[in-house]
């Protein structure tokens, strides 16, 4: 028994879902990469001798990496509105001749890293450094948060640059999962490149859009008061249609070696029903609702918490919800 849904009874609502991740330098090579980027001349560049950081699954050359981030995020950002690094003056950007980079695979952050969710703990120096983000794409030392707040309040003016030297660490580009540490001070210069006890731990939240689908299935008075369940046929009479020489495999129990069992190779419609079906008080109970597309393909099944009687004198609304 099928019934077409009224478009007004269909509602799709998107919402943002976030999941917290923690990755470390031990995860390098499996979706997380920490490496150096250094500016130098490309003249006579030799892939055999050029400095690079190598993982099991990838290698990152220092010089090309520097030019890549410079071109994508730091060069002429005020003039190109389609530039990946354009931030409407909410980020302080000053790329030095060297930088440290932590790259997180898209598989580990979804649509983007959620702003203001980053906490990076780094042990590349004698003291543990904790870096956080301000939600606008800037990374700063949490121990000097007040100095960074003054620096940001001054709209990152050069006159306030002294306030940044001990607090500002670099930038994060949320949509690309890229953390760039541009401050070359002793506390920040090797962030993300250490190993073992000099490694790092990065905690953040991923962001993904999930859509809640809601379908209200309306059963009017006197509708769907019959059933296709074989239990209503006399002595469960009737059969299903199968074909093919190996169709016996679909019908346990039976003697598989002998290719025997209780099944039929033809369709025989039931001609008689059990007496309780013809009783005036017979009303089926609803246990599941199936949703089909326009090609009669089953795409979702709604399971009711308990069987619901389909009273012929009452209308019944069943709401099927699922997230995709």
Q: What is the pLDDT of residues 137-178, one digit of tens each?
A: 999 999 999 988 888 887 777 655 666 667 899 999 999 999
Q: pLDDT-based confidence at 109, cuts 50/70/90? A: very high
Phi, psi of 129 (to 5 degrees): -105, 130
Residue 151 contacts residue 164 (beta carbons within 8 Å): yes
pTM of whole model > 0.75?
no
Segment among 21-35, 75-89, 163-177, 251-265 with least mean pLDDT: 251-265
CA distances, 129 to each of 115, 120, 192, 314 (Å): 20, 8, 11, 67
Q: What is the DSSP letter of 124?
A: S
Q: Using CA atoms, how far apart are residues 33 and 90, in angstroms rounded to an integer?
A: 26
Q: Given the structure tokens 């660490």, which residue do they identify?
A: 169
Would you state the pLDDT for residue 254?
53
Q: Please state which of the ranges 28-37, 83-92, 115-124, 178-187 shows the lowest mean pLDDT.
A: 83-92
Backbone angles phi, psi at 110, to 5 degrees: 70, -125
pLDDT tens-digit map of 53-90: 888 778 899 999 999 999 888 886 565 554 676 667 78
With bands split at pLDDT 50, 70 and 90, how would you rate the model's confidence at 239?
Answer: low
Tell me 27's DSSP state: G
Please report which confidence band the pLDDT of residue 12 belongs to, taking 50, 70 and 90 as the band edges: very high
Answer positive or negative: Cα dihedral of 21, 24, 28, 34.
Answer: positive
292 token code pair: 């089909």
- The neighbouring-strand residues paired with 308 are 286
pLDDT value of position 118: 97
In the prediction, which pLDDT does 86 show?
A: 67
pLDDT at residue 261, rounded to an integer: 47
Say if residue 210's pLDDT is above 70: yes
65 membership: H or E segment, kind and range:
helix 62-69
């Amino acid at each position: 028994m099928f019934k077409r849904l009224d478009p007004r009874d269909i509602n799709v609502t998107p919402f943002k879902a976030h999941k917290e991740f923690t990755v470390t330098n031990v995860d390098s090579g499996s979706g997380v990469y920490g490496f150096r980027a250094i500016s130098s001349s490309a003249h006579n560049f030799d892939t055999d001798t050029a400095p690079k950081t190598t993982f099991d699954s990838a290698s990152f050359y220092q010089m090309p990496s520097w030019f890549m981030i410079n071109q994508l995020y730091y060069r002429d950002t005020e003039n190109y509105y389609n530039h990946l690094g354009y931030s409407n003056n909410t980020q302080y950007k000053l790329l030095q001749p060297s930088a440290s980079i932590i790259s997180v695979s898209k598989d580990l952050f979804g649509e983007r890293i959620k702003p203001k969710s980053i906490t990076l703990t780094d042990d590349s120096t004698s003291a543990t450094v904790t870096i956080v983000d301000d939600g606008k794409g800037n990374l700063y030392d949490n121990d000097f948060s007040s100095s960074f707040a003054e620096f940001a309040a001054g709209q990152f003016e050069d006159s306030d640059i002294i306030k940044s030297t001990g607090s500002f660490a670099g930038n994060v580009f949320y949509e690309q999962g890229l953390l760039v540490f541009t401050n070359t001070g002793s506390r920040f210069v090797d962030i993300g490149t250490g190993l073992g006890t000099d490694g790092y731990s990065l905690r953040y939240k991923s962001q993904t859009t999930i859509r809640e689908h809601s379908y209200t299935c309306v059963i009017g008075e006197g509708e769907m008061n019959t059933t296709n369940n074989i239990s209503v046929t006399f002595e469960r009479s009737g059969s299903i249609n199968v074909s093919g020489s190996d169709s016996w495999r679909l019908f346990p129990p039976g003697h598989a070696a002998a290719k025997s069992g209780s099944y039929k190779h033809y369709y025989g419609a039931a001609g008689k029903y059990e007496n309780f079906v013809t009783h005036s008080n017979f009303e089926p109970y609803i246990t599941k609702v199936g949703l089909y597309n326009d090609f009669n393909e089953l795409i979702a099944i709604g399971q009711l918490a308990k069987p619901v009687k389909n009273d012929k004198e009452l209308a019944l609304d069943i709401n099927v919800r699922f997230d995709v």
